[in-house]
Amino acid sequence: MTFFFYWAEMSYLCRKRKWGIRTSRRREMDGLRCLHGVTADGIQLRKPAGTATVLMSPCFSESNAMQLDRLSIINYKNIQTATLNLSAKLNCFIGHNGEGKTNLLDAVYYLSFCKSAFNPKDSEVMRHDADFFVLEGDYTTDTGEQEQVYCGMKRGAKKHFKRNKKEYRRLSQHIGRLPLIFVSPADATLIEGGSEERRRLMDVVISQYDTPYIESLGRYNKALQQRNSLLKQEEEPDPTLMELLEMQMAEHGEAVYRKRAAFVQELTPVFRRIYQTISNNREQVSLEYVSHCQRGSLLDIIQRDRVKDRIMGFSLHGTHKDDLMMKLGGYPMKREGSQGQNKTYVLALKLAQFDFLRRTAGGRTPLLLLDDIFDKLDSSRVEQIVRLVSGDDFGQIFITDTNREHLDKILQGSGFSYKLFSVEGGEINEREG
């Protein structure tokens, strides 16, 4: 028996006997890495399709929604220093392209997910001429409690993430405490990109209300990674070890599948209603979850093609191949949709996620980040979006644009509080309304 086999067997036994503390932590981090854009093979992926939001369910007031009261930024991307006292409802950021508006929203995202929405490496969010960066947010929860979240990192060292001055032992403990949906132009990759983008869309939302999901995802990806390593070996893999890893993949993969399937089933009708609202019922869309688990026992499916996997050098079947089929009028969105239709599709999907998360995340209303959402949309769609965003179904909103035209439409006659900021060269200043 090789050392590798011995280690894998002991890890499995420890998990069964609830002894595997270090192993569980390692697998948990594998889940987080996957969530933030790293595959089981260690490949860096593109941005983690942020988040999304909205819908018309029972109204909620500003008082019972979580909010970010104060945000402090030092050396984050092109923002050297900024301290913002924020509105409980709407915060508008105006500036030309490339001035730092998206970077500001990304800093808010970082405080929720312990990671940038766009940069897989923490060192890449630090100003080029800086030796450290610091983010700090003062929050008021939906129950009225005050919370302080801090993240600091020196170049070449690990980051420190704290809640109320107490450092987290595991970053996964923080995920879901500050629910958030981020809609940005980069979300176009949900339609144009590969299936990993759409899987991450599901993972980012589910992880915010279901902590065990991160554990299942991590365990699955750890077993997948080990199986792929065996498949790449020149010598024939140990059959006992291979079977053990396949059993772990099946067990945790089916757990991941069940939660993804339930999520998509509940999300789809809400998504359709929002899309039809924005498009004035001119188009029909659909969303279909596709998984190898739908063919039967995942263990049987994985083991059936072990010979093919050996030839290819990686696992051809499993939940790491799951996908969301996005269609317009019964045809693939990627092929049929215009730029405006694609943007409407992604926005509606994100808004549906917002509504879902608000109803499932312990009654906490997520923060909603809207980055340049009006570009490439016709006036009719812009009008419908403005009506949605201006409604009472939202908590705190952060929105960016290159001019005030769309924001003025939102603010006109709304009656809720707001603050307006200008962003230029990484400098952020509050403006008069």
Using DSSP's 3-state secondary structure scheme, residue 152 falls into strand
| Contact criterion met (CB below 8 Å) for 35 and 203 | yes
pLDDT confidence of residue 266: 93
Of 66, 61, 60, the residue nearest 146 (C-alpha): 66
| Contact criterion met (CB below 8 Å) for 424 and 104 | no
pLDDT confidence of residue 36: 52
| Contact criterion met (CB below 8 Å) for 184 and 97 | no
Residues in contact with 6: Cβ distance below 8 Å, sequence separation at least 6, in sequence order: none
pLDDT confidence of residue 38: 40
The full set of domain ranges for the chain reads 3-431
Residues in contact with 301: Cβ distance below 8 Å, sequence separation at least 6, in sequence order: 292, 293, 295, 317
Q: Express each pLDDT in 324-339 by its tens digit.
A: 999 999 999 999 999 8
Residues in contact with 417: Cβ distance below 8 Å, sequence separation at least 6, in sequence order: 62, 87, 88, 89, 90
φ, ψ of residue 227 to 5 degrees: the values are: -65, -45
DSSP per position, 254-266? HHHHHHHHHHHHH
Half-sphere exposure of 197 (CA within 13 A, CB side): 16
Q: Which residue has the higher pLDDT, 179 or 47?
A: 179
Of 90, 155, 149, the residue nearest 124 (C-alpha): 155
φ, ψ of residue 428 to 5 degrees: the values are: -120, 125
Q: How far apart are CA 22 and CA 170, in angstroms?
A: 12
Quick one: average pLDDT of 174-191? 90
* pTM given for the model: 0.78
* Mean pLDDT value across the chain: 84
Using DSSP's 3-state secondary structure scheme, residue 278 falls into helix
Pairing of strands 323-328, 285-290: antiparallel
Q: Which residue has the higher pLDDT, 361 or 354?
A: 354
DSSP per position, 285-317? EEEEEE-GGGGS-HHHHHHHTHHHHHHHTS--S
Using DSSP's 3-state secondary structure scheme, residue 423 falls into strand
Q: Which residue has the higher pLDDT, 369 or 40?
A: 369
Tokens (6 digits) for 114: 């312990």
Q: What is the CATH number of domain 3-431?
A: 3.40.50.300
| Contact criterion met (CB below 8 Å) for 171 and 194 | no
- Nearest-Å Rg of the Cα atoms of the chain is 22
pLDDT confidence of residue 33: 54
Of 417, 416, 430, 423, the residue nearest 78 (C-alpha): 423
Pairing of strands 79-85, 90-94: unpaired
